[in-house]
Amino acid sequence: MRTATVKRETKETRISATVNLDGSGQYDVKTGIGFLDHMLEQLSRHSLIDLEIAAEGDLHIDFHHTTEDTGIVIGQAVKEALGERRGITRYGHAVIPMDETCTRVSVDVSGRPFMVWQVDFTKPKLGEMDTELFLEWFRAFAQAAGVTLHVENLYGTNNHHIVESCYKGLARALRQAIEIDPRKADAVPSTKGSLTG
């Protein structure tokens, strides 16, 4: 099974993440940030990636370091679990409607990190969390996982729905991209013969 555990310790955060890419969407998420926990639970549930994450950070300052470093550690765990990326479908996309909101997410599990973020918010915060931090999480994840990731909110007015549709879109696109293609389960899906960066 494609699994990995990654730990990261800095002066700002202490984070451990375990992923099982061939799971059933089971999760145990504790970051100390309620809204981020809710989003990571959505990511696990809709990608079918089992996710355990425990984070302690300098939340007395703000949520920035914990949010960004959580994206890094989950991305690193996904990258490690993918190994040579042999047999994966590689590409995935999802269009996620959520009430008045619709978001499109596309991913290429290419080994080349790149991020396009076309998402705007009308409020600076959701609960206690700064909305600008969602870009930081997605960018950190894409960089650490070695994926090309495009996130586009097509329309919507409710900021909670916008963010949640982004995470659910990533989940569904990632689920599609990391699935093993039974027609080419022994091959790396690239004419280069490598997807490791």
Token representation of residue 70? 């959580």
For 69, phi then psi, to 5°, come to -70, -30
Are 3 and 81 within 8 A, CB to CB? yes
The model's confidence at residue 185, banded by pLDDT at 50, 70 and 90, is low
Query: Which homologous superfamily is 3-178 in?
Result: Imidazole glycerol phosphate dehydratase; domain 1 (3.30.230.40)
The domain spans of the chain are 3-178
Tell me what pLDDT residue 189 has. 55
Average of per-residue pLDDT across 27-32: 98
Cα–Cα distance for residue pair 103/62, rounded to 1 Å: 28
Are 175 and 89 within 8 A, CB to CB? no
Cα–Cα distance for residue pair 170/139, rounded to 1 Å: 12
Give the pTM. 0.94
Higher pLDDT, 193 or 7: 7
Q: For the chain, give the percent of residues with pLDDT over 90.
A: 87
Mean pLDDT, the chain, integer: 94
